[in-house]
Each structure stands twice: as C-alpha cells, then as structure tokens.
Structure 1
C-alpha cells in the first residue's frame, strides 16, 4: 500500500521502492545513490534518517545478494585492511 509515494507496511512507512520490483540497472543506481549519501547521513542525519538509511541499505543489499549469489569475489579483498 502506498501513501503519497511512501510504501506503507505493517511496520510503518518505508521510503523508496521495493527492491524486488527494481530492474538490475535501477537496483545498481539505488545502491550507488545510497552509498554516496552514506557518510553525510551517518555524520549529520537525525536518528530517523539514519535508521531509514540502515534499513534501506539492508533491503537493497539483501536483494542484490539474492540476485547474485555467485557474484565474482576478489579473494584479496578478504585480507585487505582498511
């Protein structure tokens, strides 16, 4: 169910389009947009924005992993320190 562009669930308002309904290009675009906004949201966003960011990140990344369970993995990324 939607209310003014916000998808409503039993848990409350959920911002953004259901990741399962996105095409691959749209999913990648949403992930890229989310990652660009991550630091600013973490540093300056109110708690509600940060909660929504974490939820949206989990939703989009879960959808990505469901679509690409055999994604290419670079073994050297497992041992790199940040």
Structure 2
C-alpha cells in the first residue's frame, strides 16, 4: 500500500521537505514504531532518496565518503 505523493511529481522544495521530515523522524520510528510502520518509513525513505538521486545524478560526492577516502582516514 503506497502512501504519500508520488516523488516524481513533488517540487524540489517539497522533495527536500519530505526527506528532511523522514530523517528527523527516523530514530523515533526505529525505536518506537511497529514493524509495519518502520517498514513503511524505510520504503518511503528509499522512494524519496531514489527520486533525489534521479534528479541529481551529478551531485557532489565528498572524497572522504569514497572507499579511498575512508581508507586514508583509517
């Protein structure tokens, strides 16, 4: 059962607002939500993140977030 507006039709501002809201509520969902609610939270997060990546395929990647950067820190 899909809930929420289809990510592809969200404006950029609405997409960012939705992602921010999900990130703000993630720990609470992890700690206190039912299994079904947590699964829905995870599904919606993945759906919105996939839309963000689709819109921003050339987003800036920080070198420290790459495998080589992580090895350099270690």
User: What TM-score does the superposition give when structure 2 sets the normalisation length?
Assistant: 0.86
Higher strand fraction (1 or 2)? 1
Match of 1:8 in 2: none
Q: C-alpha distance in 1, partners of 2:61/2:46?
A: 20
Residue 42 of structure 1 aligns with which residue?
Answer: 30
Structure 2 residue 43 is matched with structure 1 residue 59: no
Give structure 2 stretches of 5+ with no counterpart: none
Aligned residue-pair number: 69
CA RMSD of aligned residues (A): 1.5
Q: Give the structure, 1 or 2, with the largest relative contact order (CA under 8 Å, sep 6 or more).
A: 2
* Runs of 5+ unmatched residues, structure 1: 1-12
